[in-house]
């Protein structure tokens, strides 16, 4: 970007993501709803063979009982290749991840390595298309999905008799129509809730939607959650916590690898919490940065970029991390920072350098590609600028190191950032996951393994 654009863009992004702008958007949406005397209408987009959709489906009945909403369900197809560039990895990871996170939300998902059979997926789609037509989706979706992911064809056939089933063409048409509606509203994934112009992904973001509905007075009288609370509000799907029970003394430290990117806003809002986790628990933290996806030739569609920015903002607010004044560091800024990475690590400040750079890029709107900008990054990391200049823009092998990190990430069946891997005393990977919204799961797994080791 040119210098004027690098000056203007952060200010535009700060305005776009600001709480004031968000409040204005929501006020307009609510004014439109009230002026047309419409109910609180929530659109839900369900991908039949998507594990995250199956998790969300388990909360739908309680959701419409808990909140005074009109739930409009749509069947959708999978995301495009541009939105899911590592489709096979995504599908395999989603099955594992859904099984990992389900207990934290009081849900269930089977641990199966194989995807549902295509014929079963088609039958489930026919049943759910009929359920939508008959106004029974919220009550039928979870049970139908359970039979599908359990490989229980007999139960699927029984649901076809009980609920009904459309023909193949009708089901296909329903999926095409739902996918078109999802695209029209500006998204690409399944398990998505849409309300008043804002997207909420599955059970992981449902608490954001719940807070909004509570603020609007849309919680039904007498409604209560099962067992959790979020900032004093009883919610159906608050973000799980890892538990805070004190650990017995451990004889060894758990090795935690963190794969992060300097262009990933999710990596940025996770870094300080990752460092805090390593300070609180007997964890040996190993940073394994990788190049940004677009610098590795993977596309990021515009609709995905816009969703990520707004989603990061609300997740950052929950984490207490400043975000929104963004100066995109893609390209030369990233390369300049990594030319200093090994030097910073030798001085014991590698983590500080990564955090300083991402904070400058995503919270301070600093042009990190300029000499003035990279100097701010260096000095905020507690490093001497005069010495840094001797290493700046040199290729001391950092590219090979980052490529080795990428290969290690792919070997874990992952590709996105931030990702985490726990390794045992032999160096073998014993647990791996992806996402800043999985830090609770990482800590829970660390605590579980330390407790087992101490028995």
Give the pLDDT confidence of 420-455 residue by residue, as tens digits: 999 998 999 999 999 999 999 999 999 998 887 665
Predicted confidence at residue 296, as pLDDT, reads 61
Structure-token match 């997207």, residue found? 199
Predicted confidence at residue 455, as pLDDT, reads 58
Predicted confidence at residue 227, as pLDDT, reads 43
Least confident of 13-22, 193-202, 243-252: 243-252
How many angstroms from the chain centroid is the CA of residue 115? 22
- What average pLDDT does the segment 198-217 reach? 98
> Band of the pLDDT at 242, cuts 50, 70, 90?
confident
Share of the chain above pLDDT 70, in %: 92
Please say whether the beta carbons of 447 and 433 come within 8 A: no
Beta-carbon contacts of 157 under 8 Å, excluding residues fewer than 6 positions away, are: 123
Domains of the chain as residue ranges with CATH: 39-215 (3.40.30.10), 254-453 (3.40.30.10)
H-assigned helices in 67-117: 87-101
Alpha-carbon separation of residue 432 from 72, 113, 258, 426 (angstroms): 35, 15, 10, 16
CA angle 384-389-390, nearest 5°? 105
State the Cα–Cα distance between residues 168 and 129, nearest whole angstrom: 10
Q: Are strands 254-259 and 419-423 parallel, antiparallel or unpaired?
A: antiparallel
The more confidently predicted of residues 166 and 233 is 166
pLDDT tens, 284-320? 999 999 999 766 666 677 888 899 999 999 999 999 9
Structure-token match 């029209």, residue found? 184
pTM of this structure: 0.94
H-assigned helices in 301-397: 302-319, 332-339, 341-346, 350-362, 371-380, 385-388
State the Cα–Cα distance between residues 426 and 429, nearest whole angstrom: 9
Predicted confidence at residue 425, as pLDDT, reads 87
Predicted confidence at residue 454, as pLDDT, reads 61
State the Cα–Cα distance between residues 435 and 266, nearest whole angstrom: 8
Q: Which pair of tokens denotes residue 174? A: 């329903």
Please say whether the beta carbons of 324 and 18 come within 8 A: yes
pLDDT tens, 343-400? 999 999 999 999 999 999 999 999 999 999 999 999 999 999 999 999 999 988 999 9
- For residue 330, pLDDT beyond 50: yes
pLDDT tens, 64-118? 999 999 999 999 999 998 888 889 999 999 999 999 999 999 999 999 989 999 9
Predicted confidence at residue 303, as pLDDT, reads 87
């Amino acid at each position: 970007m040119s210098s004027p654009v690098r000056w203007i863009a952060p200010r535009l992004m700060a305005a776009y993501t600001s709480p004031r702008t968000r409040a204005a958007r929501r006020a307009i949406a609510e004014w439109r709803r009230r002026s047309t005397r419409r109910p609180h209408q929530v659109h839900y987009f369900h991908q039949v063979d998507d594990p995250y959709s199956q998790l969300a489906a388990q909360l739908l009945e309680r959701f419409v009982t808990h909140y005074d909403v009109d739930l409009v369900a749509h069947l959708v197809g999978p995301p495009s290749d541009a939105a899911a560039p590592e489709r096979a990895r995504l599908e395999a990871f989603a099955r594992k991840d859904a099984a990992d996170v389900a207990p934290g939300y009081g849900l269930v998902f089977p641990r199966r390595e194989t995807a549902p059979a295509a014929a079963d997926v088609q039958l489930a789609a026919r049943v759910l298309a009929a359920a939508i037509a008959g106004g029974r989706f919220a009550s039928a979706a979870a049970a139908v999905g359970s039979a599908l992911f359990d490989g229980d064809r007999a139960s699927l056939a029984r649901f076809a008799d009980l609920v009904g089933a459309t023909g193949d063409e009708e089901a296909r048409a329903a999926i095409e129509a739902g996918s078109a509606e999802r695209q029209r509203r500006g998204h690409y994934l399944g398990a998505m809730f849409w309300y008043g112009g804002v997207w909420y992904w599955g059970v992981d973001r449902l608490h954001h939607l719940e807070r909004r509905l509570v603020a609007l007075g849309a919680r039904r009288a007498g409604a209560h959650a099962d067992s959790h609370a979020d900032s004093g509000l009883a919610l159906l799907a608050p973000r799980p916590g890892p538990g805070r029970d004190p650990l017995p003394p451990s004889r060894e430290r758990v090795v935690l690898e963190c794969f992060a990117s300097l262009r990933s806003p999710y990596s940025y809002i996770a870094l300080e919490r990752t460092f805090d986790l390593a300070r609180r628990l007997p964890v040996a933290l190993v940073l394994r940065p990788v190049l940004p996806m677009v610098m590795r030739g993977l596309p990021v569609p515009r609709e995905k970029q816009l969703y990520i920015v707004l989603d990061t903002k609300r997740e950052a607010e929950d984490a207490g991390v400043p975000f929104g004044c963004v100066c995109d560091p893609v390209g030369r800024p990233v390369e300049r920072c990594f030319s200093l990475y090994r030097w910073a690590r030798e001085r014991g400040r590698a983590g500080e350098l990564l955090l300083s750079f991402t904070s400058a890029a995503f919270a301070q709107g600093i042009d990190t590609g300029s000499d003035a900008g990279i100097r701010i990054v260096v000095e905020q990391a507690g490093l001497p600028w005069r010495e840094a200049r001797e290493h700046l823009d040199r290729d001391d092998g950092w590219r090979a190191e980052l490529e080795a990190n990428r290969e290690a990430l792919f070997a874990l069946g992952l590709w996105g950032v931030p990702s985490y891997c726990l390794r045992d005393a032999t160096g073998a990977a014993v647990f791996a996951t992806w996402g800043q919204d999985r830090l609770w799961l990482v800590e829970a797994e660390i605590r579980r393994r330390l407790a087992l080791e101490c028995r």
